[in-house]
Amino acid sequence: MLFAALLLAVRAGAAPLDLPRGRFTVSSDPVAEGTAWTETVLRFPTPVKSPWPANDVVWAHLLVPKGAAGKSPAVLILPVMAAPNVWIETRFAERFVRDGFVVMWLEMPTQFHRRPDPSEPSGQVFLARTPKGLARNFRQSVLDARRALDVLSARPEADPRRIALFGISLGAIVGSAVYSVDPRPRYAAFLLGGADFPALLMASSMTGRFARRMGLKPGELADAWRGLDPLDYQDGNKEKPALMVNAAWDAVIPAANAEKLAEAFPSARRVQVPFGHYSAILHMFWMPGWVSARLREGLTPSEAVKKR
């Protein structure tokens, strides 16, 4: 009886982004072997149960460079949510692995293999009809990423002291929450991200109409989102190095929300590029290599930088 009471007290005091403890099983299936890297699909249980069994298995794609000596720096990629494919993320992943990184990218909740029903578009169910449902899906995304860091840190090919986060759009928003609460990533790059998600949801050209049609209220969203936004962790984020890239004419991630992300990470390097949220794809010819170099710099010990 006393043990049960203590357990309930611990659970009651847990923060919303705390990762549940306990062992879990990881399955692996090699799926591809190229000239420069191998790809393995890893599967493990989500830390948060959802209403859909298919969504409760996390699919992670691991790319390992061939011929790497010892443990390599690693990157966890969190993708765009509602895209029908990972064409953009693949451009970054392949560049990262060519540059010597071990790369893992996740299928986020309700994406691809995790769709509640095969007939539904990838990621569409993420935008729940209630504030609590949306916060639940976002929290699952963050905790899935934190568990993926468990898996990535334990891989024999990866150096657990040199792990970075990389996210695009909603992946950047999720990544910023992960970076706020998890000490393992040493650097992060957020492309087309923002903070103050309740306000962003109402103002975004992608979600604002949906939110109004569903009757979502800003106050209810703020209540449901407490403890999930990087703005809730500003004090702990002050010294964290990061890269933020935003588009000058982005209506999906409004400028006010990009500024909020900068407030959450005041030490971040900020870069603004021309075009909007979707037309920023025109920067793909140079962006993957440039970001890869910034990740390499961010994961290099300061003593080594000084000796260059």
Is the separation of the CB atoms in 295 and 92 below 8 Å? no
15 falls within a domain: no
Q: How many CA atoms, within 13 angstroms, populate the side-chain half-sphere of residue 130?
A: 4
Measure the CA–CA gap between 194 and 257, rounded to whole angstroms: 5
pLDDT band at 302 (very low <50, low <70, confident <90, very high): low
Query: Identity (one letter) of the amino acid at 267?
Result: S
Query: Identity (one letter) of the amino acid at 219?
Result: G
12 falls within a domain: no
Query: Identity (one letter) of the amino acid at 224?
Result: A
Residue 198: CATH number of its domain: 3.40.50.1820
The total number of structural domains in the chain stands at: 1
Is the pLDDT assigned to residue 9 strictly greater than 50?
A: no
**4 CA to centre of own chain:** 34
If you average pLDDT over residues 64-93, what whole number do you get? 92
261 falls within a domain: yes
Measure the CA–CA gap between 163 and 295, rounded to whole angstroms: 9
6 falls within a domain: no
Is the separation of the CB atoms in 265 and 230 below 8 Å? yes
DSSP letter (8 states) at residue 250: -
Instruction: List the domain range (segments joined by +) for residue 254.
Output: 25-300
3-state secondary structure of 51: coil
What pTM was estimated for this model as a whole? Answer: 0.92
Query: 90-121: per-residue pLDDT in tens?
Result: 999 999 999 999 999 999 999 999 999 888 88
